[in-house]
Structure 1
Amino acid sequence: MGSKNKLKRFKENETFSNVVQPKREEIFEGFELKGKWNEFFKNDCPIVLELGCGKGEYTIGLAQRNPEKNFIGIDIKGARFWRGAKSAQEEKLENVAFLRTQIELIDNLFDESEIDEIWITFPDPQIKYKRTKHRLTNPVFLKKYKHILKPEGVVHLKTDSEFMHGYTLGLLQGQGDEILYSNHDVYKNAGSPSEVLEIQTFYENQYLEQGKPITYIQFRIN
């Protein structure tokens, strides 16, 4: 993507009512929406996050299917989620927002027990050992998720990485967390939720064309 196109998207994001882009000092000095996200959506519906939302395809797909829930796509790359934010505006999806931030800061942006569900879709598996701290299901991230999730809150992991799937399963079992459902090839083995099968991102379609199995885990952090 050219720099001019990126700048255009950054500018347009600033005009979207469904895009929140806090400055770093705002995040650490007391983010005004922390604990008040239902006020942002003007309802008391459950709040669901998609972490590393990319173009926002999954956030939009979930919001279209679940008008009784609010969805927030989170990514640091605003020029990327611009597409999702614009689509939500065009389709008048009032239960969608996009938040530009680093995922490791989410416990500064959401209050304790404020979130009902978290989706992690096709994250970078960070296979090298020295990159373990960046894996979105490592113990540090899981602790942050537990803090912002309601006691019965659920996390969904959908990935093309068998490594990420196995790493997460092993970690959850070791910690004594509750694995609600696991499938190492959702399109080959029946039983996955419809939202896992019916929403496909651009990259997921590429993985499927390459013959890569898509895996899914649904779990609760105890």
Structure 2
Amino acid sequence: MGSKNKLKRFQENETFPNVIQPTREEIVSGFSLKGKWNTHFKNDNPIVLELGCGKGEYTVGLAKRFPNKNFIGIDIKGARFWKGAKTAIEEGLTNVTFVRTQIELVDLVFGEEEVTEIWITFPDPQIKYKRTKHRMTNSEFLKRYKQILTPTGTVNLKTDSEFMHGYTLGLLHGLGLEVLYANHDVYKNEGSPQEVIEIQTFYENQYLEKGKPITFIRFRVN
């Protein structure tokens, strides 16, 4: 993507009513919407996050499927989720918002037990050991998720990485956390949740064309 195109998208994001771009200082010093996201959506519907939402395809897809829930896509790269934000506006989806921030600040953006569900779709598996701290299902991230999730809240991991799938399962079992569902190939096994097989991202389609299996885990951190 050229710099001019990126700049145009950044400028458009500033005009979108469904895009919020707080500074790190605003979040660290006390984010105004923390614990008050119901005032943003003007309802008390459950809040669902997609962390590392990329182009926002899953956030928008889930919002269409579950109109009685509110969906928030989070990514540090605003030029990426511009597409999802624009699509949501064009399709009149009022239950979609995108927040430009770093995922490690998620517990400062949302209040205790404010979120009912988290989706992590096709994250970078960070295979090298020295990159363990950046894996989005490592123990430190799980602690952050626990702070913002309701007691029965769930985390969903959808990935093409067998490494990420295995790493996460091993960690969950080691911590004694509840695994609600786990599948090494969601398109070849019956019983996969419909929202897992019916919503596909651009990159997911590329993986499928190459014959890569798509894995999925649904679990609790409380």
Q: TM-score range by the shorter chain?
A: over 0.9
Aligned to 1:107: 107
Amino acid at match of 2:111: D
Three-state SS of the structure 1 residue aligned to 2:170 is helix
Aligned to 2:93: 93
Map 1:129-168 onto structure 2 (within 5 A): 129-168=129-168
Amino acid at match of 1:161: S
Aligned to 1:55: 55
1:204 deviates by: 0.2
TM-score, normalisation: structure 1: 0.99
Q: Distance in 1 between matches of 2:99 and 2:47?
A: 13
Q: Distance in 2 between matches of 1:220 and 1:205?
A: 28
Three-state SS of the structure 2 residue aligned to 1:189 is coil
Root mean square deviation of aligned Cα? 0.4
Q: Distance in 2 between matches of 1:2 and 1:69?
A: 35
Three-state SS of the structure 1 residue aligned to 2:155 is strand
Map 1:69-88 onto structure 2 (within 5 A): 69-88=69-88
Aligned to 1:117: 117
Aligned to 1:15: 15
Q: Distance in 2 between matches of 1:15 and 1:83?
A: 14
Three-state SS of the structure 2 residue aligned to 1:123 is coil
Q: Distance in 1 between matches of 2:88 and 2:20?
A: 14
Structure 1 unpaired stretches of 5+ = none
Structure 2 unpaired stretches of 5+ = none
Amino acid at match of 1:102: Q
Three-state SS of the structure 1 residue aligned to 2:212 is coil
Q: Distance in 2 between matches of 1:198 and 1:89?
A: 22
1:112 deviates by: 0.6
Amino acid at match of 1:10: F
Amino acid at match of 1:201: T
1:41 deviates by: 0.3
Aligned to 2:181: 181
Three-state SS of the structure 1 residue aligned to 2:182 is strand
1:40-74 Cα deviation digits (max 9, x unpaired): 00000000000000000000000000000000000
1:118 deviates by: 0.1
1:198 maps to 2:201? no
1:24 deviates by: 1.2
Q: Distance in 1 between matches of 2:125 and 2:176?
A: 22
Q: Distance in 2 between matches of 1:56 and 1:7?
A: 19
Three-state SS of the structure 1 residue aligned to 2:29 is helix
Amino acid at match of 2:28: F
